[in-house]
Amino acid sequence: MDQSRTDILIIGAGGAGLTAALHAADRAQHLSVTLVVKGLLGRAGCTRMVQGGYNAVLKPPDSLEDHFLDTLMGGAWINDQELAWTLVETAPERIRELEARYGCFFDRTPDAQIHQKAFAGQSYDRTIHKGDLTGIEITNRLAEQVLARPIRVLDEHRAISLLHTEGGEVGGALLLDMRTGKFHVFRAKATLLAAGGGPSMYKVVACSADKSADGIAMAYGVGASLQDMEMVQFHPTGLVVPRSLLTGALLEEGLRGAGGRLNNNLGERYMQRYDSVRLERSTRDIVARASYLEIAEGRGTPAGGVRLDVSHLGAEFVEQNFPGMVKRCRDFGWDLARQPVEVQPTAHFTMGGVQISPDCTTGIQGLFAAGEDAGGVHGANRLGGNGVADSTVFGGIAGDVMADWVVGRPEPTVSGEQIEQLTVEACRPLTGNGTESLYAIRDRMRESMWEHAGLVREEDGLKKVIAELGSMQGQLEKVALKGGRAYNLAWMDWLNLRNQLLVAEMIARSALVRQESRGSHYRRDYPETDQTAWLVNVCLRQGPGGTMQTWTRPVRLTRRVPQAEALSASPVDIGD
């Protein structure tokens, strides 16, 4: 088995991992920085898939206070306010850095100012973009910058587990070179989880295929505390492409921001019933749930969607402003600029994740987290445009903090028994002789999560899915796979599923705890938002004997207290 050491180990190369690597390398050039990525550098993760853009306050009348308040209202007031403030305060500086230091170039107005467009839930047009494919610009430029520095990049390596020292610190990670199937022990003074969370345990999914909530599962494995795991964002406009893996791929929110309309199969503009003021520009949770209910109650199209119509905006406008979306639809024979296109809600983003402080520390020495692996920034619902801002803001902070933190720290030691146990567990399907089908388990998990822990939840369904997940975890141990260790994709799917089942259980258990509706979490049996009893975060960690422990903690209202009218972003207006 290969053994290496590094000062700073970064797991994941999306916005958070790339920015962290650059900041760490630039802050302390004598340190060794290693970046591990499950896919190919610059090609993996969701940052590359960012379409709409990046929220930052650049000029009046917009203000940091407005961005902050929009973020809290979108998050239905359970955000960690210190994290949310760090996001809005640092985002303008990070945008300037992306352009001036790393070479990104965002769209301009005729007078050469950075153009900012409308996204849902915003007081002012705030979203900075590069056409409608912003993530490609950001990821390409950041990846080029990484390659120009002495940062060690391990492509197609996946982190399997974090390694702990005798003192209970995190001292690196066990990696697997997916091409050769060889394990690689990487000891590190500081380890950053930037693996991008990802709600890939649902039937309809928008996030990138390489994500299986590995970072969250690994954090749980070493006893880190997690929060808000019940908060899963469903984006309202995933494509409906029957019998295609592209079902769930996104049409960006800017289409609704620009005036796109949603109609059901009866031709009704149904958002009038769910948010008569903001209509399609309402927050994602409300629009996604409205679409889900329209479809569930029989007013969807025969293929199981609703129709997004932007044709009234003018074909020229749509083609000029949304070329990526037009092309994506054209691939399936649809003319987005001139005709309605079928869409449905799609699992998009995990608001929950590892509890962090604004400096990305986690409470476990040596372990840091940033981006979608971390919880708290977005509360119960993330605003469009705040995701990539989150990953680059906190990735940069983590890089700086880790570079300072590792100075003078001793080399961590990790035991051989620990490594032996982790490799044996990871290799179990290659040595077993069970008869369970990996893909049958995966399909059941996806269906069950969609039905019982998706956009509409209730106690019986959540208890049912928790029981089912438990039996699926048992079945997974009885899967036997053919083939060796080198580039064994079925084995990778097994490793993915192991983490997805665990994180699915976290979502369902947390959803069962929260007996109210708030943001993206809607309980049919508790449809109201309860500001008195449930202004709390649901927290979770691994307890003694491997049990999953949950508890609640009052939200720390360190900067703003919710006003009655500020709750208008929560789902009190759902369905009839």
Q: Tell me, what amino acid is at 390?
A: D
| Pattern 52-81, ligand FAD, x by CB under 6 A | xxx---------------------------
- Can residue 305 be called a binding residue for ligand FAD (CB under 6 A)? no
Q: How far is the CB of 37 from ligand FAD (least distance, A)?
A: 5
Q: What is the DSSP string of 224-237?
A: --EE-TT-EEEEEE
- Rounded Cα distance between 372 and 390, Å, is 8
State which residue, 210 or 505, has the beta carbon closest to ligand FAD: 210
| Interface pick for ligand FAD out of 25, 50, 88, 337 (rule CB under 6 A) | 50
Q: Which of 16, 31, 185, 445 binds ligand FAD (CB under 6 A)?
A: 16
Distances in Å between the Cα of 426 and the Cα atoms of 5, 419, 476 are 22, 11, 12
Q: x/- string (CB under 6 A) for ligand FAD, residues 380-419?
A: ----xxxxxxxx----------------------------
Are 370 and 192 contacting, i.e. CB atoms less than 8 angstroms apart? yes
Query: Looking at beta carbons only, is 90 or 529 nearer to ligand FAD?
Result: 90
User: CB under 6 A: which stretch of 203-211, 302-310, 407-415, 539-547 binds ligand FAD?
Assistant: 203-211
Residue in 117, 211, 446, 518 binding ligand FAD, rule: CB under 6 A: 211
- Pick the closer one to ligand FAD by CB: 186 or 349: 349
Kindly indicate which of the ranges 38-46, 145-153, 298-306, 418-426 contains the residues binding ligand FAD, using the contact rule CB under 6 A: 38-46
8 Å CB contact between 22 and 147:
no
3-state secondary structure 506-564: HHHHHHHHCCCCECCECECCECCCCCCCCCEEEEEEECHHHCEEEEEEECCCCCCCCCH
Catalytic annotation, pick one of 48, 164, 235, 382: 235
Strand-pair category, 116-117 with 127-128: antiparallel
Closest of 59, 69, 68 to residue 86, by C-alpha: 68
Taking residue 225's Cβ as centre, other Cβ atoms within 10 Å add up to 20
Interface residue with ligand FAD among 7, 22, 35, 45 (CB under 6 A) is 45
Structure tokens at 476: 């997974």
Number of amino acids touching ligand FAD (CB under 6 A): 45
Of the residues 48, 67, 157, 256, only one is catalytic, namely 256
Residue 22 binds ligand FAD (CB under 6 A): no
> At 487, is the secondary structure helix, strand, or coil?
coil
496 binds ligand FAD (CB under 6 A): no
| Region of 33-41, 76-84, 486-494, 543-551 interacting with ligand FAD (CB under 6 A) | 33-41
Least gap, CB of 347 to ligand FAD (angstroms): 9
Question: What ranges in 231-376 are assigned the alpha helix state H?
Answer: 254-257, 271-274, 284-294, 315-321, 323-330
CB 146 within 8 A of CB 41: yes
Query: Binders of ligand FAD among 273-302, rule CB under 6 A?
Result: none
Task: Look at residues 509, 504, 528, 508 and name the one whose alpha carbon lies nearest to residue 518.
Answer: 528
Residue 48 annotated as catalytic: no
Does residue 51 bind ligand FAD (CB under 6 A)? yes
CA distance 571 to 576: 13
Residues 352-371 interacting with ligand FAD (rule: CB under 6 A) = 371
- Least Å from the CB of residue 36 to ligand FAD: 5
Site map (CB under 6 A) of ligand FAD, residues 155-194, x = contact: ---xx----------------------------------x
For 154, 163, 234, 294, 300, the CA distances from 188, given in Å and listed in that order, are: 15, 9, 36, 51, 52
- Residues 73, 380: contact at Cβ < 8 Å? no
Whether 256 sits among the annotated catalytic residues: the reply is yes
Q: Which amino acids are annotated catalytic?
A: 235, 256
- Site residues for ligand FAD per CB under 6 A: 11-17, 36-39, 44-47, 49-54, 158-159, 194-196, 206-208, 210-211, 214, 250, 348-349, 371-372, 384-391
